[in-house]
Chain A
Amino acid sequence: MAAALAAYQAGVKDILLIERDQYLGGILNQCIHPGFGLHHFKTDLTGPEYADRFIKQVAAAQEIEVSLRSFVVRLTADRELTYLKPGGMVTLQPRALIMATGCRERTREMIHIAGTRPAGIFPAGLAQKMVNIEGWLPGKEIVVIGSGDIGLIMARRFTLEGARVKAVVEIQKESRGLVRNVVQCLEDFQIPLYLNHRVALIHGRDRVEKVTVENNETKETFELTCDTVLVSVGLIPENELIEQAGSPDPAKPNLPGLFVCGNSLKVYDLVDNVTRDSQKAGEAAAEYLKNA
């Protein structure tokens, strides 16, 4: 939305915004906690409030057409893209294209935890979507792997919803999250944070039953019973389409008229910086169109 608005303000008047979901805003819709917008709007907003401010601006810019439930499935080197939407498939070739497809979560498979493959292991962001959008609590006794902000925020969220968070286990010596989140998400609810520890084993036949936690230095272990493990071990840019178009590095797409911004370019901590850089992408696209 920020890129589209910046291109619009720079004089581009024929803009199409394509979104696969039923609403605009992306990941912000599930981030119902505060901490957004301190730089850009100089006030502390929740994710949906931050998105709402942009949704209103996009709605007011009449030349920006929005196409929801529209899933881009193909992109070629000369910017021909194909998307599916209810009732059909559309192919078009814009003169400039801005990719802002966000990121994906790293999964358990990518961090090598030994043990069985029971149900009850979720990427933390997916669990966030289940709880905050779908209203479904995926477990009652939780262990969180990874102490980045997403892991910390989900520990609090599950606690508020009545689940018991047994521990947050962090392999590094320090939490990767903000001190504020360590205090208000863990200390407030007396949730233990095991730094310099790792989850060595996940046990359970059909459903998770317990995990074995190991101290990295002493190699001492202990067990925690739980029915759910949340894995919060980082994000990776989503840019399959850019690769499909023949450019392996999204930071240097090397395709004329193609611009990349937001988490699909690199993973950001702060949405304010996503906005700032996406505005630049929008302006760059407008500039490209003037010269093309």
Chain B
Amino acid sequence: MLRKMTCIECPKGCQLEINEEGGRVISLTGNQCEKGLAYGRQEIESPMRILTTTVLTEGLDLKLVPVRTDKPIPKARLLEAMALISGARLTHPVAVGEVVIKDLLCLGVDLIATRSVQ
């Protein structure tokens, strides 16, 4: 299957054309450097994203605490992670960087606070 994507490794934004089968790259064109090749391969084989969102609080001085994953997670699992996070409630104060949800979806990634809340 032919896939088109934009390389985001540098501001040139090369348009990559990738011939892929079953999640494996067969050929890649349009890149102007090696980074584009690595990017295209990663995006086809296992695209990863940092997730940033908010968690509802109870009894704290902000209604929401902003959070992010401390490492990228598979793009395909973003919405699943969101479903889990939307059911979570933070009931104790946290400082920036402290864990709000441990081992999110058993991915070995923690959800951490990006703002302190009392």
Residues of A at under 8 Å CB distance from B? 29, 32-34, 45-46, 48-49, 51-52, 131-135, 160-162, 179-180, 182-184, 187-188
Interface flag for B49 (CB, 8 Å): yes
Instruction: Report the minimal beta-carbon distance from B14 to chain A, rounded to whole angstroms.
Output: 10
Instruction: Report the minimal beta-carbon distance from A10 to chain B, rounded to whole angstroms.
Output: 28
Q: Which of B6, B13, B64, B82 is the one whose CB lies under 8 Å from A133? A: B64
Contacts of B63 in A (CB 8 A): 133-135
Q: Which residue of A lies closest to B64 (CB)?
A: A135
Contacts of B51 in A (CB 8 A): 160
Q: With contacts A179-B13, A187-B6 known, what are 6 further pairs, Cβ within 8 A?
A: A34-B50, A46-B66, A48-B66, A49-B115, A160-B82, A184-B49
Q: List 26 A-B contacts (CB under 8 A).
A: A32-B66, A32-B114, A33-B52, A46-B52, A48-B96, A48-B114, A48-B115, A49-B114, A51-B115, A52-B115, A132-B54, A132-B66, A133-B62, A133-B64, A134-B64, A135-B56, A135-B63, A160-B51, A160-B53, A160-B79, A179-B13, A183-B8, A184-B8, A187-B6, A188-B47, A188-B75
Interface flag for B105 (CB, 8 Å): no
Q: Determine whether the beta carbon of B13 is less than 8 Å from that of A32.
A: no
Interface flag for B116 (CB, 8 Å): yes
Which B92-118 residues sit within 8 Å CB-CB of chain A?
96, 114-116
Instruction: Report the minimal beta-carbon distance from B85 to chain A, rounded to whole angstroms.
Output: 9
Contacts of A162 in B (CB 8 A): 82, 86
Q: Determine whether the beta carbon of A135 is less than 8 Å from that of B54.
A: yes
Question: When A and B form their complex, what is the total count of cross-chain residue pairs whose Cβ atoms lie within 8 Å?
Answer: 68
Give chain A's interface secondary structure class. Answer: helix
Q: A135-B54, A160-B78 are in contact. Are A52 and B116 (CB under 8 A)?
A: yes
Q: How many residues does chain B have at the interface if contact means C-beta atoms less than 8 Å apart? A: 27
Contacts of A184 in B (CB 8 A): 8, 49
Q: How far is the CA of A45 from the CA of B114 in the complex (A)?
A: 9
- By CB atoms of chain A within 10 A, which of B11, B78, B82, B114 has the most? B114
Q: Determine whether the beta carbon of A179 is less than 8 Å from that of B6.
A: yes
Contacts of B54 in A (CB 8 A): 32, 131-132, 135
Instruction: Report the minimal beta-carbon distance from B43 to chain A, rounded to whole angstroms.
Output: 9
